[in-house]
A and B are shown apart, each in its own frame.
Chain A
């Protein structure tokens, strides 16, 4: 019998990747293509949806060619950059504008106006998240306000809205010729337009943001039939879709309440499964949908997003020229044994979770003539560790769930100094799985689970293997707990520094 494979499309911020996984969860083929980043004005970030669709077709056809007749590709799963917003013409398939990317801050003024309305409390109550430009609903509103006749056309059903998975599924299933207009519940939960309890579009939220219901996709479970990708040859059932961070949670097999993963890339994204219970947050984490299997209840998660993690190491390399490559930060940091009293708060464009202070600006605190570039490198790495602690503490306060271990992935996990620091700062074991491609693996798991490549989530758990573990050392953990208030003071200073002067 031929092997059964699953195709995953990881539509990310910088590139689109197609990967094929076998039943053991091992990657057997991968193709990647980057797309252009458009920065038309300060704070504006755009992608060309047609380019992304072309890259998806091309990389998918390439990996299917790589596999050849070695086996049957029986399902397609999609993981996507979240909150990036596309509006297109149903009849022609042409976007009305380039996609507004999740990093785009053009809705800041709009969001300030909306948040000032007396009925603004509705948003947090229904959607589970406070109004912020980070989410896709305000971007959709901006497009409707900015493109001539867009609102009337949307009301007549001529324009469609979608995040990237919706755009790709619509095109994969035929586009203008009968394309299926659907989104998955995790992506829908990031719009501010969905009732997080019923997982349906909420009429009051649509009225609040001024969004015509006719342009919205149907909300579907993350694991289950979404359509058939007739644009691929052979046609493949699309049976899984998740926002990228939720896909990583799924790929890390965090299926039980309390299990958590953190992805260390440009920023860091920590998600903790809270089971079927929706946690109302007070401490600065976000309540979000983790995943839903068709016919089963929704599973929720707490999320803590940190804007700058690996980006601070890039700044040390490109901004300061202290290192030649990102990995060398560890070499430089190991030239000293501690941070020499130095702290770096990387609030380059404000602080996200758990502080949510857009005005904060970065700072280096504790400079003395004793401090060398080695200390600075250590402080740079420690900043990522301390920010993880900030987020984990906020989540613990919100959920009351203990964290048995933190599962990590992303490029920074090859940094042993950082991983050990995180283990000590959290006083919790940090574990890295054998398959680092957790986002695409999660999409593959979702799709394969729906068609029986894997029988149940226990089968997925058995595929998860530990590649490395960093265990906290008690003395170091105690020392870092004593040191933590210093970091908190540095964060307060960065918020004060960025505050408007009167």
Chain B
């Protein structure tokens, strides 16, 4: 999405605030209100009132001496709760419980660049030999990958070439229903079910899912079996609550 062009249905003041943040970020240092107003093409009074609000929410800081603006600490903190080790610590009990109840292996994954990274893994509770694959990546077409891509921006459903990335229409469906299913989750003959994990504010920060033999997760038409699907979505909601997301 290009800047400076009004998008139908968008909120003007948010667009303007975003433009201001980009200008301040782009300066690499501090800017005065006049410079900012000029750069975004707004009246100085409008720019000033937008800056007051950004200051209030901590997205910009103002130097007391010079009155000039810089990016705020609140903006930097936005991404910091994504610490994957913190995420694992918060999700651990729910992931264990999901594995114990469903009888399947459980994985928690996040996006790292274009990769779907496993940040937590609970073994299938049958005491067979299994290898911990924390730090490994799984395909974007896995259930975990579909959930994460469906909620990432920009949606990467437009690439051509081999089917290594889900289609945009598939991702829209995942967003709408709140879960994803896939065959060939970790290896052939296996399937996966996954649901989004949201942080406070609703941002999707991870996907939580189970994997197992296709017949145990999907019926003959490829539709997820409802008891295990409910376990997955419940567990993802529980982790979301743990992270401070109220809704579910």
Contact = CB atoms under 8 A, between A and B. Distances in A.
A26 B126 CA distance: 15
A466 B127 contact: yes
A252 to B, nearest CB: 14
B226 interface: no
Interface in A27-41: 27
A24 B92 CA distance: 19
A54 B85 CA distance: 37
Contacts of B125: 434, 465-467
Contacts of A24: 100
Interface band, chain B: 20 to 34
A469 interface: yes
A326 B130 CA distance: 28
Interface string A319-331: 0000011111111
Which among A325, A411, A468 has the greatest number of chain B C-beta atoms within 10 A?
A468
Contacts of B92: 414, 436
A435 B125 CA distance: 11
A327 B86 contact: yes
Contacts of B100: 24, 26, 434-435, 465
B132 interface: yes
Interface string B50-84: 00000000000000000000000000000010011
Interface in A47-75: none
Interface residues of A, number: 25
A467 B93 contact: no
A415 interface: yes
Interface string A9-33: 0000000000000001011000000
A468 B123 contact: yes
Interface in B110-130: 120-123, 125-127, 130
Nearest to B92: A414
Interface in B173-222: none
Interface in A396-420: 411, 414-416
Contact of B85 (A27, A328, A435, A468): A328
Contact of A468 (B80, B83, B93, B132): B132
B88 interface: yes
B96 interface: yes
A328 B132 contact: no
B17 to A, nearest CB: 27
Given A327-B88, A328-B86, A466 B93 contact: no
A465 B96 CA distance: 10
Contacts of A325: 83, 86, 89
26 contacts: A24-B100, A324-B80, A325-B86, A327-B86, A327-B88, A327-B89, A328-B83, A330-B85, A411-B89, A414-B89, A415-B85, A416-B135, A434-B99, A434-B100, A434-B125, A436-B92, A465-B125, A465-B127, A466-B123, A466-B130, A467-B96, A467-B122, A467-B123, A468-B122, A469-B130, A470-B132
Given A327-B85, A467-B96, A469-B132, 15 more contacts: A324-B80, A325-B83, A327-B88, A331-B83, A331-B86, A414-B89, A416-B135, A436-B96, A465-B126, A465-B127, A466-B125, A466-B127, A466-B130, A469-B123, A469-B130
Report, nearest first, the 9 A-B pairs whose CB atoms are least far apart.
Answer: A465-B125, A327-B89, A330-B85, A327-B86, A327-B85, A414-B89, A414-B92, A467-B122, A331-B85
